[in-house]
Amino acid sequence: MFYPPEDDSFGTLCSWLNTEHSMAVHFSVSTITGVTYDIFCTKEDTVQSIREQLEEHHIEVPPASFLKLFHGPQVLCDQISVTELDPSQPIFAVVARETKVEILLQAAGSYQGYKDLIKAAPSSPEGENIKVMKGLPSILAVLEDMGGQQPDVKDLRQGEHGELLMTGELGHLLLPSLSVEALQPPSADTAAEASGQRELQRELQPFTKVIFSVQLNSDAYNQGLGIVLEQPPSMQCEMDRNGIPTYIYNGWGLSKDKNSNAIKFHPGMERGELRVEGPGGFPNSDMGFTPQNWTQSNSFHTFQVTIGTDGRNQLKVTGTRGEVFEAVWRNKLTDGVFMPALHAWLDSGGGPLLIGDIVAEIHFPAA
């Protein structure tokens, strides 16, 4: 980390950058009040360097508050290398009265472990255009790796066999909204002239749909429980009067102001009574079978949810005994670059709700 000279005139800065600090990376950091700061880092620095410079020289952070940094729609975690950021795009700084865990949850989408899994995702046997993300770490493991210590997370804990147990009434994040840009295959190679040489240009394409497979069950009776799919912040395009994207103001957790669908059912209740809450959803519906609860089955129901970029979504529930319920609804929850976030939900809390394996399957247009 290093700092520019106190004389911040344009000429002095140019001279500084062109001499001993020629390896500097410059970022423009804006606040919601319209004030902008110039921050300089080395290529070896991480986001922590940007945050520390802001806190030390520019932005006072009150007790019990944290400084959140947004780059595009994602909250940045301290461990990210500055070389992964686009210096031509602004960073937004927001002082938030939130806990450290809440900040980490909001920054989980930028966690390096997810990026590594995305890059390494193998193709499905069904086609090279389908990428499968298995072995996803639990959100508790992600928080521990990001924060450097075991997180103090209320209402969520790890079970004896790796499952998650959720008891809160406000839901909990299972998988953040992830950018799958690293997975996007190149279109047909096209030649272009550049510097006298022919270079291949790589044109990125959005995916057409993402399929989540989530294992769920519980002994909670007459309580709607299941999962919530939340539209990524990248689709919240509105700006305030200062030109600040509205997603900057979003705090942690689910909210009626965010576009989402909650898929809930009732294990152990006659006919299951499954519903989809939110835009395009439907009321309690006969599943055609009575889904066994956890004690009856000691196993999971599998929710397979297909979210299309065209807004057409499909649900397939496979019960513990192989029973099947299917339904469709319409609501645009993905833009083809960012996946929707996935949350667990249990009406009124208690439970617990047990969550098993989660798999994400990303489909690109066939070649």
pLDDT of 289-311, one tens digit each?
999 999 999 999 999 999 999 99
Is residue 15 scored above 90 in pLDDT? no
What is the C-alpha separation between 232 and 327, in angstroms, rounded? 23
> Do 281 and 344 lie in a common domain?
yes
Distance CA(146)–CA(110), nearest Å, equals 10
Where among 35, 70, 97 does a domain terminate? 97
Report the pLDDT value the prediction gives residue 191, as an integer from 0 to 100: 36
Question: Exposure string (b/e) for 194-216, b if CB count within 10 Å is 16 or more?
Answer: eeeeeeeeeeeeebbbbbbbbbb
Question: How distant, in Å, are the alpha carbons of 5, 131, 203, 303 from that of 123?
Answer: 51, 5, 20, 22
- Residue 17 pLDDT > 70: no
Same domain, 335 and 205: yes
8 has pLDDT over 90: no
What is d(CA 108, CA 189) in angstroms, rounded to the nearest whole number? Answer: 34
For residue 215, pLDDT beyond 80: yes
Q: Quick check: 194 pLDDT over 60?
A: no
Assigned domain for 125 exists: yes
The highest-confidence range among 11-15, 93-97, 112-116, 309-313, by mean pLDDT, is 309-313
In percent, the amount of the chain with pLDDT more than 70 equals 82
8-state DSSP, 6 = S
91 and 33 belong to one structural domain: yes
Asked whether the predicted pLDDT for residue 283 surpasses 70, the reply is yes
**pLDDT band at 7; cut points 50, 70, 90:** low
Q: Are 16 and 5 in contact (CB under 8 A)?
A: yes
Last residue of a domain, one of 97, 122, 151: 97
Inside any domain, residue 324:
yes
Question: What is the band of 29 on the pLDDT scale with cuts at 50, 70, 90?
Answer: very high
Cα dihedral 182, 330, 216, 256 sign: positive
The 3 state secondary structure assigned to 314-365 is EEEEECCCCCEEEEEEECCCCCCCECCEEEEEECCCCCCEEEEEEEEEEECC
pLDDT score, position 19: 47
**Confidence class for position 182, pLDDT limits 50, 70, 90:** low
Provide mean pLDDT across the span 176-185.
77
Q: pLDDT value at position 97?
A: 75
pLDDT of 4 > 70? The answer is no
State the Cα–Cα distance between residues 264 and 226, nearest whole angstrom. Answer: 5
Provide the pLDDT for residue 204.
61
Residues 57 and 203 in one domain: no
Averaged pLDDT for residues 69-86: 88
Q: Which of 300, 247, 293 is nearest to 272 (CA)?
A: 293
249-277 pLDDT, tens digit each: 444 455 677 899 999 999 999 999 999 99
Count of the separate structural domains present in the chain: 2
Structure tokens at 240: 């305030």
User: What does the alpha-carbon distance between residue 154 and residue 122 come to, in Å, rounded to a whole number?
Assistant: 35
Confidence category of residue 203, pLDDT binned at 50, 70, 90:
low
**pLDDT greater than 90 at residue 23:** no
341: domain CATH number?
Answer: 2.60.120
- One domain for residues 141 and 81: no
> What CATH code is carried by the domain that includes residue 57?
3.10.20.90
Residue 130 confidence (pLDDT) above 60 = yes
pLDDT for residue 205: 78
Residues 71 and 169 placed together within one structural domain of the fold: no
Sign of CA dihedral 76, 82, 83, 87: positive
Question: Is 273 contained in some domain?
Answer: yes
Q: Do residue 34 and residue 149 come from a single domain?
A: no
Q: Are residues 169 and 301 in the same domain?
A: yes
My answer on whether 251 and 319 are in the same domain is: yes
Determine contact, residues 345/218, Cβ cutoff 8 Å: no
Q: 57 and 161 in one domain?
A: no
Q: Is the pLDDT confidence value at 363 over 50?
A: yes
User: 313 and 232: one domain?
Assistant: yes
Sort strands 164-166 and 156-158 into parallel, antiparallel or unpaired: antiparallel
341 occurs within a structural domain: yes
> With contact defined as beta carbons under 8 Å apart, do 16 and 51 qualify?
no
Q: What is the pLDDT of residue 12?
A: 52
| Structural domain boundaries, residue 36 | 10-97
> In angstroms, rounded to a whole number, what is the distance separating the alpha carbons of residues 208 and 335?
9
Q: DSSP per residue over 271-298, as a string?
A: T--EEEESTT-EEEE--SS----HHHHS
Single residue among 69, 97, 125 that ends a domain in this structure: 97
Q: What is the mean pLDDT of residues 221-235?
A: 92
Helix (H), strand (E) counts: the chain: 6, 22
Q: How far apart are CA 361 and CA 58, in angstroms?
A: 43
Would you state the pLDDT for residue 148? 84
Sign of CA dihedral 162, 163, 164, 166: negative
DSSP 196-235: TEEEEE------SEEEEEEEEEE---S--EEEEEE--GGG
% pLDDT > 90, the chain: 59
Whether residue 181 contacts residue 204, with contact meaning beta carbons closer than 8 Å, is answered with yes
Note the pLDDT of residue 200.
34
pLDDT at 24: 85
Average pLDDT over residues 316-326: 98
Determine the average pLDDT of the residues in 336-350.
93
Q: Does the CA dihedral 227-233-235-237 come out positive or negative?
A: positive
Q: For 62-77, how does the pLDDT look when each residue is reduced to its tens digit (9 = 90+)?
A: 877 889 898 887 888 8
CA 187 – CA 174 distance, rounded (Å): 32
Determine, yes or no, domain membership for 197. Answer: yes
CA 126 to chain CA centroid, Å, is 26
Average pLDDT of every residue of the chain: 85
Confirm whether 104 is domain-assigned.
Answer: no
Q: Is residue 103 part of a domain?
A: no
> Same structural domain for residues 125 and 166?
yes
- pLDDT for 188 beyond 70: no
